[in-house]
Amino acid sequence: MSVDIKRMIALLSGNFVRISLGICLLAGLSWLYFSASSPSMEPVKAKVGLVKLPCWFTPQSDWPQTYCYKMYVPENHQQNARLISFPIIHFKSFAGESRQPPLIHLGAGGPGAAMWLQNQLMVEFTWQGFEHSVLRQGRDLLLMDPRGTGMAQPRLDCPSIVSYGLQQLNQRQLQPEQSSVEDQILRECIARLQQQGVDVAQYNSKSVVEDLKLLQQALQLEQWSLFGVSYGAVYALLYTNEAPEHVETLILDSPAFPAVKNVENPAGRFMATFQQLENYCQFDDACTEPLPDFPERLWQLAEKLDLQPLTVSIPSGFFGMNIPVQLSGEMFLNLLAWAAYDNAIYRELPQIVTALEQGNVSPFYEYVDSYVSYIKDNDFSVVSMASHLCFDEVPFMDYIKLKQSFSELPEGFLRDAGLSAYQWPASLCPVFGPGNSGNEIMVKQTLTSIPTLFLQGILDTVTPLEDVKQQMPFFSRSQLRVYPLSHGVHGRLDCVDKDLAVFLSAPQQVAQPAACQLN
């Protein structure tokens, strides 16, 4: 199983964020131009703090006033270490001088995902998503890539993993041989970064929180509102635990929680996506009657594709060459889990299954294409992800319980893939050094009266609704909004931003949810 597939599978365990399929396609378009950047340390003469820069994109006349910065921080906050940097984009309120604390978007989650702040279309898409809830309510908006990701320097990516992932698209997904190859590739990437002077063990949530403290001081803010999506919510909650006096409100979209490590039934959570897909008709308003014997047909199709894989040719954008993708049963299941990040799959699944039973890939093509674009995303910081998880998650995992849970699944790909996803990257953690032994702040229960808005998709199996409901009693002034979506709901429906606008205008008051309508 390739590391890129492993990343996608890991989404099901709550370790990584997904934005929308459309965003992924935009990222794929910009991959070739921006993949030329390489990890580098900042000049020693730089000082801790914000440095204003000309924006690397062109704000248009209808944009809010826009300013761009690099934030310089010590790579190791415990030592007088070399400095690293991460980008900040500051949008001024349309109302002129800000009347309210700004809202900061803490990145794309993951950990290790990029906001694609180098892409003008993505920057515009992002600020427009907060136009009415933030920028037209007298608040400024701040965007950032956390250390090690996206436009941060250094960026802890691993281009050779991307190359290997593309090669494996046309191969059968065999374990454990491929996992062993991928681990070795990552070890080589980590060694390369270490040779360049990068202290890879410092890229974790605790360090990001220290970065945020310095950023708040540099901006001279008494308070700000924190927006955290998926793993970005971990940053928001850890910061709240340490500096609650500086947090006006919390907005947590599809949140991961530091205090939620070992779920009762990890294998059941892993399989939840496939169970929802089996029962697709319950999640499609237009469906009145499911295909006959659909669950059996779904799994029979996966078995058929394993025996007789189909080949899909995806334009690569590189000199007119195409990328062949072998649609085996295992790849089909991977792609279904990937597709479940968009509610459209529930509407399109009957046509997809019926067509694939006849050897016709056309209805499934856009999902294959989107997945290949994701594989090509060289902005994903897989080393940063591994470093985070080795500090944030691995020391607290109950691997005995984990293996027992997955042993209840039938032998085969799903058992192996799920267990691998939950165990990764434990075998890599020793290369990060002895510092990743488990800091208790990473399992501290957040207990707060800060007004909190939870935004949640009912179809989310990555960070499911049950986690939010379990945590809500610890947030004494919290509100929950649930939408007919999967993971990562802000920017997907107008009603989400309306709910956010109402909350930010009066966070102490409980309001009726906005009416939601799927496009």
Distance CA 67, CA 89 (A): 6
Residue showing tokens 């399989």: 271
* Nearest Cα to Cα of residue 285 among 340, 336, 343: 343
Domain locations in the chain as residue ranges: 1-271+370-519, 272-369
Q: Dihedral of the CA atoms 361, 339, 159, 180 (nearest 10)?
A: -90
Distance CA 338, CA 342 (A): 8
**In this model, does residue 378 exceed pLDDT 90?**
no
Task: Supply the pLDDT for residue 7.
Answer: 35
Q: Give the containing element (helix H, strand E) for 468.
A: helix 465-471
Q: What is the pLDDT of residue 175?
A: 62
Among 17-21, 112-116, 180-184, which range has the highest average pLDDT?
112-116
Q: Indicate the residue type of 319.
A: F
Q: What angle do CA 132, 138, 144 make, to 5 degrees?
A: 75
- 328 DSSP 8-state letter: -
Per-residue confidence (pLDDT) for residue 390, from 0 to 100: 94
Instruction: Report the DSSP pairing between strands 224-229 and 310-315.
Output: unpaired
- Residue 306's CB is within 10 A of a number of other CB atoms, namely 18
pLDDT at 13 over 50: no
- Which element (helix H / strand E) includes 82? none
Q: Please tell me the predicted confidence (pLDDT) of residue 176.
A: 67
Confidence of residue 262 (pLDDT cuts 50, 70, 90): confident
What pLDDT is recorded for position 323? 87
The fold for domain 1-271+370-519 equals: Rossmann fold (3.40.50)
Residue 34 has pLDDT above 70, yes or no: no
pLDDT-derived band at 406 (thresholds 50, 70, 90) equals very high
∠ CA 309-313-314 to the nearest 5 degrees? 130
Say if residue 360's pLDDT is above 90.
yes
Environment class of 19 (CB within 10 Å of its CB; exposed 0-12, middle 13-18, buried 19+): buried
**pLDDT, tens digit, for every residue of 149-169?**
999 999 999 999 999 988 889
Computed over every residue of the chain, the mean pLDDT equals 88
Residue pair 452/478 in contact (Cβ under 8 Å)? The answer is yes
pLDDT band at 40 (very low <50, low <70, confident <90, very high): low
Q: pLDDT value at position 49? A: 96
Angle at 209 between CA 205 and CA 213, to 5 degrees: 170
Residue 485: pLDDT above 90? yes
Q: How confident is the model at residue 457 (pLDDT cuts 50, 70, 90)?
A: very high
Contacts of residue 207, defined as CB under 8 A and 6 or more positions apart, other chains included, come to: 77, 147
Amino acid at 142: L
pTM over 0.85: yes
| Average pLDDT of the segment spanning 239-264 | 95
Residue 174 scores a pLDDT above 80: no
